[in-house]
Amino acid sequence: MVRENQDNPDFDCLRWLVANGAKLYVLQDLHAKIYFSEKNTLLSSMNLYESSADNSWEIAYLVTNPRDAEEVREYVNRQLFKSATFIDVSKAQIDQSIEDRKARTSNTGFCIRCQRSLFLGPSKPLCDPCYDSWAEYQNPDYPEKCCHICGNHAETSYKKPLCRSCWQKTRS
């Protein structure tokens, strides 16, 4: 279950979950972090974003008592699912979400670490939380994950935040 977004959901962030068989429901004003599997129940403060794992102190409680886990599941089913809406996310929708993200205006760029959308400026290619993490060591050659302009996965760094293709386009 994910919080309802007034715009289109960011299916790219949910790609891994969908690819691994998760069913997605949306619920307005959701602020819960309860993760279920067939065997486990986890209550946590953590969002399922890479930036949460890399940049935040998180806490979680693994419910191991089957009766307690069942109580949590019953609460979610009784209180949350009755108001939630199932969304059938296909690979095509995920791919379209990615294309929409890439088609944003030319002043929009991407954080080279977490791919979060931000103002395009190669002198500041990291979002604020990722910059705070990077600033601890300030290594301009530290390998990052994606291009600041197109958002595609690429070998980049703070010093060289663009993929080869985008860098070549800026040269012409």
Task: Name the residue type at position 24.
Answer: L
Closest by CA to 54, choosing from 113, 127, 135, is: 113
DSSP H stretches of helix in 29-161: 50-55, 66-75, 91-102, 128-135
pLDDT tens string 113-138 = 998 888 887 788 998 889 999 999 99
Banded pLDDT at 172 (limits 50, 70, 90):
low
The domains of the chain are located at: 2-95, 104-171
Q: What is the pLDDT of residue 146?
A: 92
With cut-offs at 50, 70 and 90, classify the pLDDT of residue 91. Answer: low
Q: How much is the pTM? A: 0.42
pLDDT tens digits along 13-43: 666 677 777 777 777 777 778 888 878 898 8
Confidence grade of residue 105 (pLDDT, cut at 50, 70, 90): very low
